[in-house]
Chain A
């Protein structure tokens, strides 16, 4: 009886040890690296300092040309806006958005790179902002 009991405990311990040591790959940000190779932007939003949208209409995302075209209201303070990207599952963005971003240099559009879930595909998206015409 005692022998069975010890065997059972030993099996349980080994199982736990094996499970806890199984390694799931994570990247430098601690995010899970998956098998997904898709790499695109699904949606793009631009919020003003008051966290309200500054877009006049939906942003046009071209996943082939890897561009995002967005028109903002006249008078938008482009030095203080919050971009929001909706990415395909498991993908991530580089550089990370950690607060307000300055989009005021319209001649030099910002570029964000989408990195796929498997971290093997990288696609740079250029964000072109245009301002509603001056009255």
Chain B
């Protein structure tokens, strides 16, 4: 019995050693014939109307089998007129710089399709495709079919998506100033001076002001028109400007699309949906660059994130970028 067990253990060890020591011969991979393609999406973050979705579409076939004739992309929703496909194939050199090689004529948009016709005798190319998100795609999904044709009659295609297009809007680099354009409308995503604000009183959500005191820290502030006079000293509101927005102060939420900095943070539709403004105040004072505020308009129609790109104490100015989500 004991001998039998020893034999079994010995056999197992031998099998393990034999398997572990078996060496696989390396063989050069054989070139697969025919036209092939591949695609990657290069842009990150939410797809916002007006921004682009960038892809890199690669296609190739063995040189002996022919050349590429054309590349085409068909989107499920036609892109905005500025949509295009590169007619240059890029490769990255040793310094990390993208070097272009022209392979054909500039792309032509026709309805939902964008096509590049090759004029260079080439058997491999990687073309970038920039889909400019149109208004029609807001809140919908969009998908893409990339395809290529070769001179040997072969065609290939590659499906990408579907991708959600956000419902939110975006506006960059609005400049608020203490002595001029100090009224902000979330509905219009615009800043106004007092005279214009008086004509758009119902849509004014926030007032910008900059104050310095020796006894208290105030500095740059965004307050709702209905906020306590303590938080808008020296401000005489135009007639009818009475809205009461709800505000949450935020620090270090540097959305990449708003801040355009190195941080990989993106605010998407879902973030606005999940906000809870219960008990939120109607003012935010002592605001700093790279901080922000979540805002809900008085009528509850919009929620927005206002990112502070820059503050200027001398000019008494604040540069902001906004993402706005319609709640109704």
Contact = CB atoms under 8 A, between A and B. Distances in A.
B250 A135 contact: no
A135 B218 contact: yes
A10 to B, nearest CB: 24
B262 interface: no
A100 B278 CA distance: 12
B250 A50 contact: yes
B286 interface: yes
Given A50-B249, A52-B251, A80-B281, A135 B213 contact: yes
B213 A49 contact: no
Interface stretch (A18-26, A70-78, A82-90, A119-127): A70-78
Interface string B216-241: 11100100000000110100000000
Interface string B265-283: 0000000000000011101
Interface string A98-117: 00100000000000000000
Contacts of B215: 132-133, 135
Most buried by B among A73, A77, A132, A133: A77
A37 interface: no
Nearest to B285: A75
Interface in B204-221: 211, 213, 215-218, 221
A73 B286 contact: yes
A51 interface: yes
Contacts of B280: 80
Nearest to B230: A134
Contacts of B251: 50-52
B248 interface: yes
Given A73-B286, A135-B233, A49 B217 contact: no
B291 interface: yes
B218 A74 contact: yes
A79 B281 contact: yes
Of the four ranges (under 10, 10 to 19, 20 to 34, 35 or more), the interface on chain B belongs to 20 to 34
Contacts of A133: 215-216
A56 B231 CA distance: 18
Nearest to B253: A50
Contacts of A75: 216, 218, 221, 230-231, 283, 285-286
A56 B286 CA distance: 13
Contact of B217 (A50, A52, A73): A73
A49 B216 contact: no
Contact of A50 (B211, B231, B291): B291
Interface in B275-328: 279-281, 283, 285-286, 291
A76 B218 CA distance: 11
B321 to A, nearest CB: 18
A135 B283 contact: no
Contacts of B286: 73, 75
A121 B166 CA distance: 56
Nearest to B249: A50
Interface of B: 211, 213, 215-218, 221, 230-231, 233, 248-251, 279-281, 283, 285-286, 291
| Shortest beta-carbon contacts, A-B, top 4 | A74-B216, A135-B213, A50-B251, A50-B249
Given A50-B250, A73-B217, 17 more contacts: A49-B248, A50-B248, A50-B249, A56-B217, A73-B286, A74-B216, A74-B217, A75-B221, A75-B230, A75-B283, A75-B285, A79-B279, A135-B213, A135-B215, A135-B216, A135-B218, A135-B233
19 contacts: A49-B250, A50-B248, A73-B216, A73-B217, A74-B217, A74-B218, A75-B230, A75-B285, A77-B249, A77-B281, A80-B280, A132-B215, A132-B217, A133-B215, A133-B216, A134-B230, A135-B216, A135-B218, A135-B233
